[in-house]
């Protein structure tokens, strides 16, 4: 019996596909950009630049098989470029400070990441994302908000899956520590109030 | 992790492009596309596979389904109905070739032992003679049909004899019994045909021809004539034939008259 996927072909132009990709992914890209740069206007510009870059890529004769992954990659590169322009400290130096390495075995395990994520309240964590270093914020956003897998993320940021897992673990750990700090601060304020009265 | 992911995702849904922001962004993008159009050779359209959800695709697949249904029905007719109808065919009929070359050949393959093969070839011989009688009685017998019937009778008796030869290698008693069965059939048919010849009817021309053919086939196997099967084997064969005869008699009781039943009993 004929395959249900391919029984008759429909002709679609490059323009149509491109505009459809805008319709499908512009919101998700914007959301990602806002979380990463914490600035709405900059995020809109980044999304615009992403699509114009992709259009130039198509104009130069290339084909895009999967718009989703390609758009995320271009956006990620633009965000990194914007960080480089803003900050004088390079990301390589950041890596040296952070000392990103292959990590211990417990950090590498996907189960460890899952177990750690299960202990964190996502609603509170969302507000604290902007306080994380971008190397961690990037992977957490890709993983838990954009829904990309470790392999997809590794291809996007051009790192190994091990590095992605380590960053996810450390990022979540940092989030939890910040949340605990927030709780302690809130308790301290309450005590001071009570003592005053 | 699922809970954390869901909470984070749900919270992030508060971040989205407003309608006017999205429209403005789209306009900027379309302007950019107009100022930087594709090269003419890049305007070649791409082919996109349609999904199963498309109504045109569904119609095409439904047609394929109907095609399969028709094919299945046609195969069922060809394999079941046609052979069933062909069983009643006689020489000269359109389906006679199906009867002889398909139905009877399939039954030949189902006869596994040489003894069963001899029995079946004998049965085929009987069928040919019965068909010839029917055609002669209806006045449809021609020279060509007569030749083909005579040739078929000769072929079936030769086949039966070959199987008896094979059977002799492994089961001499079986070969003797099979030989007896073949000879008996030929004798009975010859006797019946002789009586038709003596009645001097117009059908007797064919009957004479068949008697000659049967006489040729009745080369006695000297070696087997002198051998008797073992008593147990013979008694067993007699019992099974008798049982079969009574079963056949019971089967015709519902539509045969008393006279006909008596006639059968006395002649047997």
Q: Are A132 and A171 in contact (CB under 8 A)?
A: yes
For chain B, what are the domain ranges? Answer: 55-86, 90-229, 237-268
d(CA A25, CA B63): 37
- CA-to-CA separations, B47 to A5, A64, B53, in angstroms, rounded: 13, 13, 17
**Which chain B residues are within 8 Å of A117, Cβ to Cβ?**
1, 4-5
**Residue B19: band (very low, low, confident or very high) from pLDDT cuts 50, 70, 90:** very high
Q: Please report residues of B whose CB lies closer than 8 A to that of A143.
A: 5
- What pLDDT score does A21 carry? 95
Q: How many domains does chain A have?
A: 2
Distance in Å, alpha carbon of B8 to nearest chain A alpha carbon = 5
Whether A8 is in a domain gets the answer: no
Residue A35 sits in the same domain as residue A100? no
Q: Is the pLDDT of residue B20 over 50?
A: yes
Q: Are residues A82 and A119 in the same domain?
A: no
Do A97 and A78 belong to one domain? no
B131 vs A194, more confident: B131
**A62 shares its domain with A100:** no
| Residue in the block written with tokens 């949340």 | A179
Q: What does the DSSP assignment read for B176-220?
A: HHHHHHHHHHHHHHHHHHHHHHHTT-TTHHHHHHHHHHHHHH---
Q: Encode chain A (197 residues) as per-residue pLDDT tens digits.
A: 433 334 345 556 888 999 999 999 999 999 999 999 989 999 999 999 999 999 999 999 888 889 999 999 999 999 999 888 776 554 444 444 444 454 554 555 667 787 888 888 888 888 889 899 989 999 999 999 998 988 999 999 989 988 999 999 999 999 999 988 888 888 888 888 777 65
pLDDT tens-digit readout, B176-219: 888 888 888 888 888 887 877 676 555 567 777 777 877 777 65
Question: pLDDT of B25-38, one tens digit each?
Answer: 999 999 999 999 88
Confirm whether A182 is domain-assigned.
yes
Query: Do residue A141 and residue A182 come from a single domain?
Result: yes
Residue A6 located in a structural domain:
no
Of A1, A56, A114, the CB nearest to B1: A114
pLDDT at A7: 39
Domain boundary among A29, A52, A86: A86
Cα-flanking dihedrals φ and ψ of residue B219, to 5°?
-75, 125
Residue A44 contacts B where some CB pair is shorter than 8 Å:
yes
Q: Give yes or no for a contact between B201 and B133, defined as CB atoms under 8 angstroms apart.
A: no
Same domain? For A81 and A143 the reply is no
The pLDDT of residue A100 is 47
In a domain, A42, yes or no: yes
Q: Assign residue A22 the CATH number of its domain.
A: 1.10.1740.10
d(C-alpha B143, C-alpha B149), whole Å: 10
Q: Are residues A47 and A123 in the same domain?
A: no
pLDDT at position A4, please? 33
Read off the CATH number of the domain in which A166 is found.
1.10.10.10
- Tell me: ipTM over 0.90: no
**Residue B103, exposed/middle/buried by CB under 10 A (0-12, 13-18, 19+)?**
middle
Average pLDDT over residues B73-84: 85
Best A20, A50, A145, A172 member to test B by mutation, with max B CBs in 10 Å, is A145
A55 with A112, same domain: the answer is no
Which tokens is A181 given?
């700090």
Residues in chain B: 268
Q: Does B7 touch chain A (CB under 8 A)?
A: yes
Q: Helices H, strands E: what count in chain A?
A: 10, 1
In this prediction, residue B118 has a pLDDT band, given cuts at 50, 70 and 90, of confident
Predicted confidence (pLDDT) per residue in B222-268, tens digit? 555 566 777 878 788 788 888 888 888 888 888 778 888 787 777 65
The CA distance from B130 to B124, in Å, is 10
Show which of residues 35-74 on chain B sit within 8 Å of chain A, judged by CB atoms: 36-39, 42-43, 45-52, 54, 56-57, 60-61, 64-65, 68
A73 touches chain B (CB under 8 A): no
Tell me, what's the pLDDT at A76? Answer: 94
Instruction: Looking at the structure, tell me whether residues A73 and A108 fall in a common domain.
Output: no
pLDDT in the model for residue A110: 66
Reading the block at residue B229, the tokens are 């099967």
Q: Do B25 and A48 touch (CB under 8 A)?
A: yes
Residue A182 has which token pair? Answer: 């927030």
Domain extent, residue A78, equals 13-86
By the 8 A CB rule, do A133 and A94 touch?
Answer: yes
For residues B1 and B158, the model is more confident at B158
Domain assignment present for A1: no
pLDDT in tens, A101-111: 545 545 556 67
Q: How many CB atoms lie within 10 A of CB A10?
A: 14
The verdict on A109 and A68 lying in the same domain is: no
Name the one residue in this structure whose structure tokens are 């990103």: A100
Helices (H), ranges, A63-120: 67-86, 91-98, 105-108, 110-118
- Residue B49 pairs in a beta bridge with A9
Contact between A47 and A29 under an 8 Å Cβ cutoff? The reply is yes
Q: What integer pLDDT is reported at residue A109 of this predicted model?
A: 61
């Amino acid at each position: 019996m004929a395959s249900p996927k391919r029984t008759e072909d429909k002709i679609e132009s490059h323009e149509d596909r491109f505009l459809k990709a805008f319709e499908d992914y512009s919101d998700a890209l914007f959301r990602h950009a806002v979380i990463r740069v914490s600035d709405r206007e900059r995020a809109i510009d980044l999304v615009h630049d992403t699509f114009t870059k992709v259009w130039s890529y198509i104009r130069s004769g290339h084909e895009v098989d999967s718009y989703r992954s390609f758009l995320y990659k271009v956006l990620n590169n633009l965000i990194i470029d914007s960080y480089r322009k803003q900050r004088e400290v390079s990301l390589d130096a950041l890596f040296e400070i952070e000392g990103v390495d292959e990590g211990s075995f417990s950090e590498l395990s996907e189960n460890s990441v899952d177990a750690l994520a299960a202990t964190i309240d996502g609603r509170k964590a969302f507000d604290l994302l902007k306080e994380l270093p971008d190397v961690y914020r990037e992977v957490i956003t890709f993983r838990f908000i954009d829904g990309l897998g470790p392999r997809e993320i590794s291809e996007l940021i051009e790192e190994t899956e091990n590095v992605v897992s380590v960053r996810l673990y450390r990022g979540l750990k940092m989030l939890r520590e910040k949340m605990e700090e927030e709780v302690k601060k809130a308790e301290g304020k309450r005590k001071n109030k009570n003592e005053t009265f | 992790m699922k809970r954390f992911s869901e909470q984070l995702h749900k919270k992030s849904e508060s971040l989205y492009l407003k309608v006017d922001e999205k429209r403005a962004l789209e306009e900027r993008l379309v302007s950019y596309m107009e100022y930087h159009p594709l090269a003419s050779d890049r305007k070649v359209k791409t082919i996109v596979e349609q999904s199963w959800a498309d109504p045109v695709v569904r119609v095409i697949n439904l047609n394929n389904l109907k095609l399969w249904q028709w094919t299945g029905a046609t195969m069922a007719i060809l394999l079941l109905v046609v052979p069933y109808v062909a069983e009643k065919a006689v020489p000269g009929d359109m389906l006679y070739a199906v009867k002889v070359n398909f139905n009877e050949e399939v039954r030949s393959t189902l006869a596994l032992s040489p003894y069963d093969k001899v029995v079946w070839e004998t049965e085929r011989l009987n069928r040919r003679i019965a068909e010839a009688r029917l055609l002669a009685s209806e006045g449809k017998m021609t020279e060509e049909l007569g030749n083909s019937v005579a040739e078929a009778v000769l072929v079936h008796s030769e086949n039966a004899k070959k199987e008896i030869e094979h059977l002799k290698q492994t089961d001499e008693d079986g070969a003797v019994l099979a030989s007896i069965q073949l000879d008996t059939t030929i004798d009975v048919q010859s006797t019946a045909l002789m009586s038709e010849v003596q009645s001097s009817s117009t059908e007797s021309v064919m009957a004479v021809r068949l008697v000659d053919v049967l006489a040729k086939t009745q080369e006695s196997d000297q070696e087997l004539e002198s051998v008797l099967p073992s008593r147990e084997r013979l008694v067993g064969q007699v019992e099974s034939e008798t049982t079969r005869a009574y079963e056949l008699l019971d089967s015709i009781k519902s539509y045969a008259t008393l006279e006909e039943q008596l006639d059968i009993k006395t002649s047997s």
